[in-house]
Amino acid sequence: MKSNKRQQRILRLLLFAIVLIAAILLTIYYIELGREEPVLGTGSQLGLAVLFIDVGQADSALIYLSTGETMLIDAGESPGADAIREELDERRITDIDILVATHPHADHIGGMRTLIEHYDIGQVLMPDMEIQSAVYKNLMDVINSRGIPGNEAYAGYEFSLGNARCTVVSPDADADKDANHESVVIFLDFFDSEFLFTGDMENWAETRVLDAYYYVDADVLKVAHHGSSTSSSQAFLDAVTPQYAVISCGRDNKYGHPHQETLERLEAAGAKVYRTDEAGDILFFSDGQTLTVQTGD
């Protein structure tokens, strides 16, 4: 009889231990689940995610909606394609509806050829500008060989990405400047959330945008030219009034980006600054009314 009671007591202790371990594992699971990025809704539910990908001293931003539309703005240097592919594959994205090459510098288009070879691209949007470089030539070769439609981006050009309305505010169609000045600048309006993607535009292009009275008041500013002091003028920031500012730059880069003058102007403008060299990937999510931000650090 005593042996049976001892066995029952041991069984109860084992059962308690199993339940306790299961409870601990479930708690850990839900804590980790809460750290994941917000899940985009489907169908009629609104959801916009903007992911600034850490591609070092380069640029790349992925925009995707709950209704399935995707846009990729720039693709970093050639090695950066691996980081971008990882983000796309993690989200099971196989199609990029709009691929934007803001300008033909290698730190913005270097990874595009690899992406075009691995994903279905709906169209390419880029400025009417050519440069003599192997990176640019190889990109154009693969675009043409695959018959991907190309559209010229110029100030005033408008297009939709699901429920988001996009307006190109620069460059002017008649601009004939260097590649940075001719960067494609896109204002994205998603109900009560606005984003401004600026490529490497500098003060000259900023002045042109302001003189044309384009609406650029945005919640989130992708700071131009990796935070260089040649961009983000006081007048431009006064017009944008960003709540958040994202700087895409490499750790300990040789250019000293972001420059202290730019950081001081952003701070004076009241913007919360996020940097890929410090935070890694930076994700914004909007349900059409409110914005949340999450970093990869």
Same domain, 60 and 11: no
How does pLDDT run across 266-285, given as a tens digit for each residue? 999 999 999 999 999 999 99
Same domain, 96 and 69: yes
pLDDT band at 178 (very low <50, low <70, confident <90, very high): confident
Same domain, 15 and 134: no
Give the SS3 label for residue 194.
strand
Output the six-digit token pair for 242: 């960003």
State how many domains the chain has.
Answer: 2
Same domain, 86 and 10: no
Distance of alpha carbon 208 from alpha carbon 210, whole angstroms: 5
Same domain, 29 and 166: no
Same domain, 19 and 47: no
Same domain, 24 and 65: no
How does pLDDT run across 219-238, given as a tens digit for each residue? 999 999 999 999 999 999 99
Q: How many CA atoms lie within 13 Å of 43's alpha carbon, on the beta-carbon side?
A: 1
Same domain, 9 and 91: no
pLDDT greater than 80 at residue 216: yes
Is the link from the previous residue into 258 a cis peptide, with omega within 30 of 0?
Answer: yes
Output the six-digit token pair for 53: 């990908």
Same domain, 24 and 61: no
Burial 114-131 (b: 16+ CB within 10 A, else e): bbbeebebeebbbbebee
Q: How many CA atoms lie within 13 Å of 56's alpha carbon, on the beta-carbon side?
A: 15
How does pLDDT run across 139-175, given as a tens digit for each residue? 999 999 999 999 999 999 999 999 999 999 999 877 6
Q: Which residues form the domain of 14? A: 1-36
Same domain, 77 and 167: yes
83: CATH: 3.60.15.10
Q: 52: which strand partners?
A: 61, 282
If you average pLDDT over every residue of the chain, what do you get?
89
Same domain, 255 and 183: yes
Same domain, 114 and 23: no
How does pLDDT run across 22-68, given as a tens digit for each residue? 555 544 444 444 444 444 543 446 899 999 999 999 999 999 999 99
Query: Which pLDDT score is estimated for 34?
Result: 43
